Structure 1
Amino acid sequence: MADFDKVLKCWAVVEADPDAIGGEVLNCLFMEYPDTQKQFPKFAAIPPAELAGNAAVRKHGGVVVRKLGELLKAKGDHTLILKPLATTHANIHKISLNNFKMFKEALVKVFAAKGLLDADGQAALRNVMDVIIADIDGFYKELGFQG
C-alpha cells in the first residue's frame, strides 16, 4: 500500500497532461526496445525520428497512463480493471508479459528524467508495476495465453 501512495504523490502532474507524459513513455519504450513498436500496428511504420511528435502516439500514451492511474488508485484491488485489459492484451493484441516489463522500465526512466520520482519513488513504481505484471501473468495463465 505504501508503494502505491509513493507513486500517487506525483500523479497529479501526470493527470495534468497525460497525453504528453504517456507519449514520452511510449517514445522511450520504442527507442529503448525498438521491437515493441511492431506491437502497435498503427505506429509500426512511423520512423523513429518522427515518434516523439506524433499525435497518435501521444494520444495512445494518454490512454495508457490514464488506465495506469486507475490501477494505481485501486491500490492492488484492481481485478475489475485489470482482467479485461489482460484479456484484450492476450486474445486480441497478443502482448507478451515481457513487453509489460519493458514498459515498466520506460515508465520509470521517464518519471525519473522528469523529476517526478526520486530513487525511493522509482523503486516503489517498480514494485507496484511488478504487482500489476504478476496479476496480468495470472490472468494470462487463466486464459491459456503463453505470453
Structure 2
Amino acid sequence: MQLFNLVLVFGVVAYASACSQTPGTTTTTVTTTVTTVTADDEGEAGLLSANDRRIIRKTWDQAKKDGDVPPQILFRFIKAHPEYQKMFKSFADVPQAELLSNGNFLAQAYTILAGLNVVIQSLSSQELVANQINALGGAHQPRGATPIMFEQFGEVAEEVLAEELGSAFNAEARQAWKNGMRALVTGITRNLKKAEDLADPQTKLTPHQIRDVQTSWENIRADRNSMVSAIFIKLFKETPRTQKHFVKFASVAIDALPENAEYNKQVALVADRLDTIISAMNDKLQLLGNINYMRYTHQPPRAIARERFEDFARLLLDVLSSKGVSADDMDSWRGVLTIFVDGVSPRQ
C-alpha cells in the first residue's frame, strides 16, 4: 500500500499593498499555513476513483506552479459572467481591463487557489472533503451563490488548465476533472445551507438545533423534575426490569415511587444532568465532556442497554409535545436526542 502526503492549506492570508517604487502598481502577497497528513492513495475511498484522484492531483500540481493560473481562472469566469463581479465587494466596481492588476482581485484569486488545494488534497478522505465541501456551501450561501455558478466556474477552470498543460491535459485528465467538478458541485449543492444549518463536525449539532432546543427548554425547565418523574414512571411500567437498575428503589411499588426519597433524589439528579447538558450545548468541549461522562458512568456494572436511552428519549419527546413545544422545535429535539443517545450508548 503506497502512502502519500496530503498538504492541507488551512489558512490563507492574502493582502495587497501599494509599492512606492512604481506609482499605481500593486503587489499581492499570499501566505499559507500547511500541515501534513498521511492517507491511502490506492483505495477507492472518497468521492472519486483512485485513478481520478491521482490524475487531478498530478495535473493540479503542475498547473498551480504557474502563478498566472488562479488569476486567469477568476478573470475568465468574471469575463464570461460579468454579473458575478458584483458578488465580490472588494473589486465589484473595478473595470474588467484593470482586474488582473488589481490587488484585491489577485488576493481573491489566490484565496480560491488555497481553497482548491484543500479540496483536491483532501479527496482520499471522505471526512475531510465532506467537511471542506460543507464549509464551502455554508460560506457561499449568504452571498447568494447557486449551484450553476460552481458548474460554470468548473468549466472555466477546465479551459484554463487545458491551455496551461497542453498535451498533458489529455482526454483522461479532462474526464477526471469533469468527474471531480461534478462531485464537488453535487456536494456543494447538498450543503449550500445557511451557516446556522451546518453541523459541527465533532458534536454533529447545528446552531439552529442548539437554538431551538435551548429556547424551548428554557420555557419548561422549571418543571424538569416532574417531567423526568413522569418519564421514569412510564418507563418502569413499560419495561419493569428497567427499575432494577436503581438498587435503592428497585423493589418499591411504582405507585409509591413519588413519595420515595431515594427515587426523588434520582429524578433530581437526572433532571439536573439533562439541564446541564442542554445548557452546555454552545460549549463544545463541555458538551462532549458531559456526554462522555454519561457514557462512562453507564458502562458495566450498570450496563444500561441502548434501548433504555432510546425509550427515555422517545418519552421525553412525548412530554415536550404535551408541553406545547412547536413542530419545528420538535424536529430539532429529535435530531439532538438521537445524537445524545449515540454519544452515550453507541450502536454496537
| TM-score, normalised via structure 1 length | 0.78
- Shift of residue 81, structure 1, vs aligned partner: 1.2
Query: % of aligned pairs identical?
Result: 24
Distance 1:32 1:111, change over 3 A: farther
Distance 1:74 1:41, change over 3 A: same
In the alignment, structure 1 residue 89 sits paired with structure 2 residue 277 = no
Choose from 93, 97, 105 the match for 2:314. Answer: 105
Distance 1:136 1:129, change over 3 A: same
- Letter paired with 1:98: E
Contact 1:4/1:75 (CA < 8 Å) preserved in 2? yes
Contact 2:249/2:263 (CA < 8 Å) preserved in 1? yes
Distance 1:55 1:10, change over 3 A: farther
* 1:23-69 CA distance string (max 9 Å, x none): 22222222233232122222221112223444433331221122112
- Letter paired with 2:249: F
In the alignment, structure 1 residue 45 sits paired with structure 2 residue 254 = no
- Shift of residue 105, structure 1, vs aligned partner: 1.1
- Letter paired with 1:88: T
* Structure 1 gaps, min length 5: none
2-structure distance, mates of 1:9, 1:24: 22
Choose from 106, 120, 133 the match for 2:328. Answer: 120
By percentage of residues, which structure has more strand? 2
Q: Is the radius of gyration larger for structure 1 or structure 2?
A: 2
2-structure distance, mates of 1:101, 1:4: 20
SS at match of 1:42: helix
Contact 1:100/1:133 (CA < 8 Å) preserved in 2? yes
| TM-score, normalised via structure 2 length | 0.36
Q: How does 1:36-75 map to 2 (within 5 A)?
A: 36-75=242-281
Contact 2:212/2:332 (CA < 8 Å) preserved in 1? yes
1-structure distance, mates of 2:263, 2:326: 26
- Letter paired with 1:84: Y
Distance 1:29 1:95, change over 3 A: same
By percentage of residues, which structure has more helix? 1
1-structure distance, mates of 2:327, 2:333: 10
1:129 corresponds in structure 2 to 337
Contact 1:7/1:117 (CA < 8 Å) preserved in 2? no
SS at match of 1:95: coil
- Shift of residue 86, structure 1, vs aligned partner: 0.8
1-structure distance, mates of 2:290, 2:222: 22
* 1:79-133 CA distance string (max 9 Å, x none): 21111221110134211111110110121122222x1423333332221111011
- Letter paired with 2:302: H
2-structure distance, mates of 1:67, 1:73: 10
- Shift of residue 13, structure 1, vs aligned partner: 4.3
SS at match of 1:91: coil
- Shift of residue 20, structure 1, vs aligned partner: 2.4
* Structure 2 gaps, min length 5: 1-206
Q: How does 1:11-30 map to 2 (within 5 A)?
A: 11-30=217-236
- Letter paired with 1:66: D
Structure 1 window deviating more from structure 2 (33-42 vs 48-57): it is 48-57
